[in-house]
Every structure is written in structure tokens, then in C-alpha cells.
Amino acid sequence: MAATGETPSEPQLEPTDDQTPPAIELPEALRAELDLLVRKYPDRRAALIPALHRCQEELGGWISPRTMEACAAYFGLEPVDVYGVVSFYPMFRLRPPGEHVVGVCRNLSCDLRGAPEIVAKVCEITGAPAGGTSPDGRFSVELLECQGACASAPMLDLDGIYHENLSEEDVERILGGLA
């Protein structure tokens, strides 16, 4: 959980490269999926967090203001309610990430087994600063809190897939093909 950037700044709420007016509708296929999701719960809003996960996966790896507006419309909520939820949960991104996202756990069990060296190696290979995105936009590096891989530390998460029991050589092998 918990991607923590090293130089926290206010989330960028206005996408600068997108001049199109807000779309209130979600893409049709996604909407159809959400229609199934809400049926799992006695109250529609309960599907909000799983729905935001699907939106983030399908709509650029982050939750843009327009996605928040579209979700608000879908769930019958105010956009600020959706923002309140999105901003509470570390897995939701308020800024677009790089093409690949590499998360490294730096909590205690991982730290004791060399997480700082893994972070340094990941930053070296990707050219991204810890908690930021590489200048070419290919990689974001997130520093994570405990991921439940304590007995197989250190670990990294590449685009949602765990890689565990890492050595620096493993990091080279895993990221080498992408960098």
C-alpha cells in the first residue's frame, strides 16, 4: 500500500495537456462492467472503490478530474465526494504515472534485507527519482509501505505484479528488458 513520494506536492487537479471539455459519461464497456459490480452490494456506493480501480486501469493509470466527475455522475455523488475517496487511498493516483510503475517496499522487513539498495538500483536503471517519473515518461518509481512480502523481502511491484526475494542482479534482469 501507500505510495509515498519524497517531495510531496499538491495533487495536480487540472490536466494541462487536455483541453477537451469534461465528459460526464464513462466509456460504454466500462459502464457495463460497473453495472455488474454495483449488483454485489445492497447499496450502490459500495462499488465506488472497486469501480475506481477499474477506471484507473482503463483510463490512463490515474484518476483524472474528468474520471472523478464521470464516476460522481454514475454513482449519483458530488465530485468532491469522489475526490474525498480517491485522495484517501494511496493506490489511487492523482497524477498520470509513467508507462511502467515500479513500486518498492521500504518498510522494516524489507529495509532490513536491503530495500535501500533495491530503490537505488531501480532509480539508476529507470532514470526516475524515488517518488517521481523519469524525464522520458517511461517509468515512475513509487516508495511503498508494507506490501505483505515480508518473508520474501526485499520486493518490488512492477505494474501490479510482485517480484520477491530480490538481489540487485534480479532488478537488472526484471527491468533491464524494459529500460
Partner 1 sequence: MSGWPTFLLERCKLAGSHRLDVARANGAYDVLAKLLKDGTPPAEVIAVVKESGLRGRGGAGFPTGLKWSFMPDPARDSRPRYLAVNADESEPGTCKDRVLMEQDPHGLLEGALIAAYAMRAEAAYVYVRGEYRTSYDRLQAAIDEARAAGLVGERILGSGFSCEIHMHKGAGAYICGEETGLMESLEGKRGHPRPKPPFPAGSGLWGSPTTVNNVESIFNVPFIVAHGAAWYRTMGSEKSPGNFLCGISGHVERPGVYEAPLGISARELLEDFAGGVWKGRALKAWIPGGSSTGLLPASLIDTPMDHDSLRDAGSMFGTGAMIVLDETACVVRASEILARFYDHESCGQCSQCREGTQWLHQIFARIERGQGMADDIDTIESLARGMAPAKTICALSDAAAIPALAVVRHFRAELEAHIEQGRCPLRSAGAVAAREGVPA
Which CB sits closer to partner 1, 150 or 174? 150
Which CB sits closer to partner 1, 73 or 85? 85
Tell me if 84 contacts partner 1 by CB under 8 A.
yes
Helix (H, G, I), strand (E, B) or coil at 3: strand
Which CB sits closer to partner 1, 52 or 98? 52
* Residue of 58, 145, 170, 172 interacting with partner 1 (CB under 8 A): 145
Pick from 70, 48, 49: nearest CA to 59: 70
Tell me if 5 contacts partner 1 by CB under 8 A.
no
**CB-CB contact of 171 with 156 (8 Å):** yes
Q: Rounded CA gap, 82 and 70, in Å?
A: 10
Pick from 117, 88, 107, 119: nearest CA to 151: 107
What residue type is assigned to position 168 of the chain? E
Tell me if 23 contacts partner 1 by CB under 8 A.
no
Pick from 26, 36, 142: nearest CA to 92: 142
Per CB under 8 A, contacts with partner 1 among 40-69 are: 40-43, 45-50, 52-53
Q: Rounded CA gap, 33 and 47, in Å?
A: 11
Per CB under 8 A, contacts with partner 1 among 90-129 are: 90-92, 106-109, 111-113, 116-117, 119-120, 123, 129
Q: Rounded CA gap, 155 and 159, in Å?
A: 13
Residue 16 CB, nearest approach to partner 1 (Å): 26
Residue 160 CB, nearest approach to partner 1 (Å): 6
Total residues at interface with partner 1 (CB under 8 A)? 54
Helix (H, G, I), strand (E, B) or coil at 42: coil
Q: Rounded CA gap, 99 and 143, in Å?
A: 17
Which residues here bind partner 1, judged by CB under 8 A?
1-4, 6, 40-43, 45-50, 52-53, 75, 84-85, 88-92, 106-109, 111-113, 116-117, 119-120, 123, 129-131, 143, 145-153, 157, 160-162
